[in-house]
Chain A
Amino acid sequence: ELKVEQNPLFLSMQEGKNYTIYCNYSTTSDRLYWYRQDPGKSLESLFVLLSNGAVKQEGRLMASLDTKARLSTLHITAAVHDLSATYFCAVVLPGGYNKLIFGAGTRLAVHP
């Protein structure tokens, strides 16, 4: 059974600081996604990571994947208030059906 664990589950950050969210998963997978969810809203796709060593960046967010360690990180650089949201990682279950297993989410609050 594939399990996906995120930590921390809640993160309070000061504006301008850097931090990293971690996503560990329990079995082999060939794809990992990061999504953002604003309160009361739907999920927005941020990144898809396909291979070991993959790194993608968009603005102040950078995601990486280490398939050997079964670990993905989402690094936040110089946080701003607009990044306040809940971030989910989701891992594709092996088998070819594109079934996603989600982590519990990291609720990020950026304050002055």
Chain B
Amino acid sequence: DADVTQTPRNRITKTGKRIMLECSQTKGHDRMYWYRQDPGLGLQLIYYSFDVKDINKGEISDGYSVSRQAQAKFSLSLESAIPNQTALYFCATSAGDRAQETQYFGPGTRLLVL
């Protein structure tokens, strides 16, 4: 089984709708992240969380919100989706081991906003 899972894997929605993307991990990591990737570009950080009570904005948090329901679960919400939020969304986790702290990525959610 995958260590970092994301649901749904694909989603089509309409402008103005509220949607939630979910991320779960079995790696036992404290730190979780949400990124978006636009075609031909690198990843941009939306939000990150270092534990259940710690939520921080990333580079591009406007129009998004998150919830850390448990150590293993981190959800991203689009309160009122707009077409320029069409992108590939990745969740990632890391252990907090200062020496390396590699981020491990989920399979991604492809979102299309019409």
Which residues of the partner chain A approach B41 to less than 8 Å between Cβ atoms? Answer: 104-105
Q: Which of A57-91 contact B (CB under 8 A)?
A: 88, 90
Does more than half of chain B's interface fall in helix, strand or loop, or is it mixed?
A: loop
- CB pair B42 A105 closer than 8 Å: yes
Given contacts A88-B43, A98-B103, A100-B103, 12 further A-B contacts (CB under 8 A): A31-B101, A41-B108, A42-B90, A43-B90, A45-B104, A48-B100, A90-B42, A90-B43, A98-B101, A100-B43, A102-B44, A104-B40
Give Cα A98 to B45, complex, Å.
11
Give Cα A99 to B103, complex, Å.
10
Q: Which one of B44, B100, B107 contacts A41 once the chains associate, using CB atoms below 8 Å?
A: B107
CB distance from B6 to the nearest CB of A (A): 9
Which residues from chain A sit less than 8 Å from chain B, CB to CB? 4, 9, 31, 33, 35, 41-45, 48, 50, 88, 90, 97-100, 102-105
Give the size category of B's interface with A: 20 to 34
Q: Does B71 contact A (CB under 8 A)?
A: no
Give Cα A105 to B94, complex, Å.
21
- The 8 tightest CB contacts between A and B, nearest first, are A102-B42, A43-B105, A42-B105, A102-B43, A42-B107, A45-B102, A104-B42, A48-B100
- CB pair B40 A42 closer than 8 Å: no
